[in-house]
DNA sequence: GTGGTCTAGACCACA
DNA sequence: GTGGTCTAGACCACA
């Protein structure tokens, strides 16, 4: 299930993208699986179909899913998809590292922050 | 000096905040130092005074700077300030770690990404 | 045999039309030959008979095939058919050339692109 | 100026993308130039701002333009942009060549079609 | 039913 | 004013 945070400044379509990528990363869904239809997911989450459409379109453009008109949307199975998923997953993290680096935070400080968080199972 | 990227999707006022925090982190400025006036900084960077004002207001709210009417703005000296600086600096990073963790990315994968980036001096 | 790509954004009925035209272009089928019945082709390809019907209707409209009630569908034999086949085959290509020309791409750039692709046996 | 064909099956946002790329290819606009605002272009063309927004978003994603909130949209100046423009420009043409190849049309037939069209200055 | 496109119109952050 | 997001709702081709 995808959990949306309407109060977040992160756009809903981005949260959707993240949610689907997360489901793939943790193995809840895999290549070839069909995704809920645009309308079904929209009504299930209580959001507008256009918003789901936007998320699906971006995922398709990245090669992570493919959509067939009149049939539905499916998770891609090829390598390219896995690579794209990994890239996006690490993308946000890398940006954060870059930002931290710009602020003069040392490699060690970052690693100890990670250790601390993983030790407490995050938060 | 603060370098702005007008093409970035990061708001200018956020870039300003980041810039001032960075200057403090790397020791270029320290507690008690005076900051340029809103107008001076705005004209120096060629941006709108409102934007500088917004950045200063947020920094003041966090306790990182303080303003004295008719005198100007100054970097705070107390511990609270240092903590706030560190918190903001690490804040975005921690969120990214949490997101990565949710996606099932291992601690090791994150650290190796950091190592790779610091080795190449970021990017 | 006609190979369908269900993931393609090109409609199935268009792929069918392309497939039949290709078979004629390469000489695998020729004027007078009978085509599989709508139902037979549909079941063989695992698609909806409506889709095959649509493809046949368009081919008939162009004069490339003709249907005889109770007998089936056949490839036309007259010149008009050959011309239509060529026209359809080159149609999309000519549009692309026109578009490229509008964009200021030179004749030479187009030809070198073709050479490159044919050298690598396309893609 | 960008000419739209509402009867075409090519989506309006794609026609917009093509139009802007064409203007860049022929040198009518160049790196650094500002584009009309989303709203201005929409009202000028008599279409919905969302449609222009979609075109701009895609162009930005390809690195061909960049948008600054509150400022406007601008043509990128870097090499990457030029490469993307060329790629998209030739992209449609290459697809057409591939399609023609699948249909068994020879390299020579394609080239003679090009020659014919360029001789008559297209159409 | 399914994805894709488009309009009309609102609201927000930013400059 | 400017880009960006989102909703509500319509219409289309396709299967």
**Which nucleotide is closest to A41, CA to C1'?**
E2
pLDDT tens by residue, D32-83: 999 999 999 999 999 999 999 999 999 999 999 999 988 899 999 988 888 8
D11 or A89, which is more confident? D11
What's the confidence (pLDDT) of residue D72? 94
Alpha-carbon torsion C71, C74, C77, C81, what sign?
positive
Largest CA distance in chain A: 52
List CB contacts of A106: < 8 A, sequence separation 6 or more.
none
Which alpha helices (H) appear in chain C, and where do they start and end? 12-25, 38-45, 49-61, 79-102, 107-119
Question: What CATH number did the domain enclosing D110 receive?
Answer: 1.10.10.10
CA of A48, C1' of F10: distance in angstroms? 14
- Of the pLDDT bands very low, low, confident and very high (cuts 50, 70, 90), residue A120 is confident
Inter-chain CB proximity B105 and A95 less than 8 Å? no
Contact A18, B101 (CB under 8 A): no
Facing residue for B123 by CB, picked from A98, A105, A118: A98
Measured in whole angstroms, how far is the alpha carbon of residue B76 from the centre of its chain?
14
More confident residue, D35 or D98: D35
Which chain D residues contact residue C99 at CB under 8 A? 18, 92-93
Cα three-residue angle C74-C13-C38, rounded to 5 degrees: 40
User: Which chain A residues are closer than 8 Å to B113 by Cβ?
Assistant: 90, 93-94, 97
Report d(CA B25, CA B81) in Å as an integer.
11
Residue C67 parent element (H or E) = strand C65-68
Q: How many structural domains compose chain D? A: 1
**Higher confidence at residue A40 or residue B89?**
A40
Q: Could you tell me how far CA B83 lies from the centroid of its own chain?
A: 13
Distance CA A82, CA D73 (A): 33
Give the model's pLDDT for residue B10: 86
Mean pLDDT across chain B: 87
* Residue A86 confidence (pLDDT) above 70: yes
Which residues of chain A are within 8 Å of residue C6 when distances are taken between CB atoms? 68, 71
Q: Which of A16-20, A63-67, A116-120, D55-59 has the lowest mean pLDDT?
A: A116-120
D88/D17 Cα distance (integer angstroms): 10
Closest alpha carbon to A60 in A92, A93, A38 = A38
Spatial separation of the C-alpha atoms in residues A92 and B101, rounded to whole Å: 12
* pLDDT number for residue B34: 93
CA distances to A37, A90, A100, C75 from C39, in Å:
29, 50, 64, 17
- Under the banding of pLDDT at 50, 70 and 90, the label for residue B56 is very high
Percentage, residues of chain C above pLDDT 90: 41
**Per-residue pLDDT tens digits for C56-100:** 999 998 889 999 988 899 999 887 777 877 777 787 888 888 888
HEC readout, chain A:
CCCCCCCCCCCHHHHHHHHHHHHHHCCCCCCCCEECCHHHHHHHHCCCHHHHHHHHHHHHHCCCEEEECCCEEEECCCHHHHHHHHHHHHHHHHHHHHHHHHCCCCHHHHHHHHHHHHHCCCC
User: Between vectors from CA C40 to CA C35 and to CA C43, what angle results, nearest 5°?
Assistant: 135
Domain that includes residue C35, residue range: 12-122
Q: What is the mean pLDDT of residues A57-80?
A: 91
**pLDDT at residue A122, as a whole number:** 58
Q: Is the pLDDT score of B120 beyond 90?
A: no
**Looking at residues C21-39, what average pLDDT do you find?**
89
Residue ranges of chain D whose CB lies within 8 Å of a chain B CB:
66, 68-69, 71
A6 located within any domain: no
Maximal CA-CA distance, chain C? 53
User: What 3-state DSSP class applies to C35?
Assistant: coil
- B62: pLDDT confidence band, cut at 50, 70 and 90? confident
Helix/strand/coil (H, E, C) string of chain B? CCCCCCCCCCCHHHHHHHHHHHHHHCCCCCCCCECCCHHHHHHHHCCCHHHHHHHHHHHHHCCCEEEECCCEEEECCCHHHHHHHHHHHHHHHHHHHHHHHHCCCCHHHHHHHHHHHHHCCCC
Least confident of B69-73, B78-82, C5-9: B78-82
Dihedral over alpha carbons B102, B108, B113, B119 (to 10 degrees):
160
Q: Are the C-beta atoms of C93 and D92 separated by less than 8 Å?
A: no
Q: How sure is the predictor about A55, in pLDDT bands with cuts at 50, 70 and 90?
A: very high
Assess whether pLDDT exceeds 90 at residue C118. Answer: no
């Amino acid at each position: 299930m995808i959990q949306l945070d309407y109060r977040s400044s992160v756009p809903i379509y981005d949260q959707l993208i993240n949610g689907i990528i997360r489901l793939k990363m943790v193995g809840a869904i895999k290549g070839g699986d069909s995704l809920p239809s645009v309308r079904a997911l929209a009504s299930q989450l209580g959001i507008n179909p256009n918003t789901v459409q936007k998320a699906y379109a971006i995922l398709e453009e990245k090669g992570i899913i493919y959509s067939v008109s009149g049939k539905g949307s499916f998770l891609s199975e090829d390598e390219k998809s896995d690579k794209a998923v990994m890239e996006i997953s690490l993308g946000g993290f890398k940006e954060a590292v870059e930002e931290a680096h710009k602020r003069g935070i040392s490699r060690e400080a970052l690693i100890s922050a990670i250790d601390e968080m993983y030790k407490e199972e995050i938060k």
